[in-house]
Structures are given as structure tokens and as C-alpha cells.
A = this chain, B = another copy of it.
């Protein structure tokens, strides 16, 4: 099948499929005489796997590692446990900071009644005051803000 068909079957945009190919997640398919990519059932399966992992918010680099296990079924899979564990830890950390965030925002929301002018806006006042560190719970537990990644690469 061609890229559009594959995309519809897996619920993925064609450009994204080409991106996965470039990123080394999908093997380059055969080409028809006109140069069009020609996919088979195996590609659909692999693509569905990738999408499912992405739905679990697993980064592409880890999906690549998972696919390695799929490709080498006799490898030891102890790492898979660790990988899932790490992903779970990431998600839980993010959840925790987001719950704190929600509280902050919910508290803010009720501080401004309609019809005001910015100078008297409770929300704005609260934000400015909080920025000074008064009564501010969220500086302590800020959201992870990109959370690591990328140490010691390049060059």
C-alpha cells in the first residue's frame, strides 16, 4: 500500500510516517517504479506499535529501543522493565507537579470578578505578589520544565 493508505489505516499523517522513517523507527520500504513508497502489513503493525507507545508518551528514543527487542526476540528483556519503570516515574513526577499547578490556578481564578480594571484585578495582584515570594506554594514545586534530557552530547 502507499503512504496515504498506511496513514489512514494507522491514523497517522503521511508526513509523520516519512519523519519516522528518517528518524530510523520505520525501515525504508520498497519503492514502486514511480518512486512511491510501497508498504506491507509488517509496516502497518510496526507503525501501530509506535503510535501506541507514543500514546503512552514514550519518547521516540525509547520506542527505538523497544523496537530493537521486537526485532531480536531472543534478547534479554530485563531492560524493558526498567524502561517502563522509568517512563512511569516520569509520568508520576509530572502528574505531581501538575496537580500543584491546578490548585494554584484554581485559587487564582476566583480572585477576579468581572468588570474590573487591571489596576484592581485580584489575579494580577496575586501573580505580582506571588512573584515576590509572598504566600507562594508553587515556586517550591515548579513543573519539570523540559526535565533533563540532553546532558553531555554533541561534540
Contact = CB atoms under 8 A, between A and B. Distances in A.
A132 interface: yes
A152 B34 CA distance: 33
Contact of A118 (B48, B54, B69, B124): B69
A143 interface: yes
Q: Is the interface of A mostly helix, strand, loop or mixed?
A: helix
A89 B136 CA distance: 21
Determine how many copies of this chain the complex contains.
Answer: 2
Contacts of A87: 105
A55 B109 contact: no
Interface string A37-79: 0000000010011011111110000000010011011111110
A130 interface: yes
B98 A95 contact: yes
A5 to B, nearest CB: 18
